[in-house]
A and B are shown apart, each in its own frame.
Chain A
Amino acid sequence: MAYSKKVVEKFENTLNEPEKNSVGRWDPSDLDIGTGMVGAPACGDVMRLQIKCKPEKNSHVISDVKFKTYGCGSAIASSSELVDMLIGKTLEEAREIKNKDIANALDLPPIKIHCSVLAEDSIHKAIEDYESKL
């Protein structure tokens, strides 16, 4: 599989400097944490996205993100790319992020588009989880 330079760079940076690239986890029971886990081991990819949120004005803002991903190189790159997009956004803005944004940012090959779809799903799940605790 010939990946774009962006996928390879994102993957390698995440692999070699996990902490700097938001790899990690928080206790999912914390009230300011929303956790979204998508995918399945049998399908070859599982993403766990966690957002740390704080109320601000009439909304809630994502102040920090952590993730872990089991999957192919483009799945790992997609979740890492998503993290960059999320920090500082309100939940409303975060909901607007589409898989296309991630796919375009990384030049994903067509056969790997599902990795970006999975990343998009993980945001929605994480926001849903956070809001259920409010």
Chain B
Amino acid sequence: MFRSYKSVAGAVAALVVAAGLSTGALGQSLELKIMAPAAPGGGWDQTARAMQAALTESGAVKSAQVVNVPGAGGTVGLAQFVNAKGDGSQLMVNGFVMVGAILTNKSPVTLEQVTPIARLTAENQAIVVPADSPIKSAKDLAEALKADPAKVTWAGGSAGGTDHIMVGLFAKAIGVDPTKINYVPFSGGGEALAAILGGKVTAGVSGYGEFEGQVKAGKLRLIAIAAEEPVQGIDAPTLKSEGIDLAIVNWRSVVAPPGLSDEQKKALLEAIDKMVKSNQWQETLKAKGWDDAYLAGDDFAAYLKNEQVRVGEVLKSIGLVN
């Protein structure tokens, strides 16, 4: 009985705190609108909503609201977003996937038009095989791929997305023609995971978080992650340590509309900086298993340019973009 009273008190307290914050008793005067260019539930939506909570609770902004504009790898949202020229109270969440989607969808609007603010999070990409697979390591997988690229079936996310790009890069890194890979796209992680668990495909590629539970339960074998350095808490070698020169992370970032004044840009950068350093944000990262990949302002702008070039090259070599 005592326990339930306590949780009621907790609920009430949370509501009171939330109400207090929304009146803007503390913090700055910014009233932000954050666009998640995807349907509720996905990674971008979760990022936007985590930002909303952290921004308001840390008092970095007065209020924040999230708008979902789903469609076409975020390019529908992007096309709407660039119309908010000079509006310093809007942000949009995006990431690696959008870089590819702009190219594959031949989007008339590109990331050149937005004002880069900061990279926020990153997720490690992992390669798994079914637990009873004869493939024990990334080297085995590379050998199989060299022997007959078509026979190695890969399950992952949508065509042209992070997972597909990673498989293309994997082939390239071991000297196999990337156009020959047999990549089977699945919409949504669930279906792909089922296909890997059921042994319908040779290997699966996705964010480590998607596989974690199955790996720990011994139903999937984690053969490698695509990080630069070994990651604490993940019991697998990096591809680089296995002699395969490939590192890729699925990063998510936040951008602002085009045509901002220096002052507007500074205000947004400051708000995001305060958010990233707040306890709330750090707790969210831990809870969701996202890596802190904070990189702000001009450094992020340069990084973004670099990724665009890399992704463009891969998509061409896989044959997805002419």
B is a partner of A: no
**Which B positions have Cβ atoms within 8 angstroms of A?**
none
**Which A positions have Cβ atoms within 8 angstroms of B?**
none
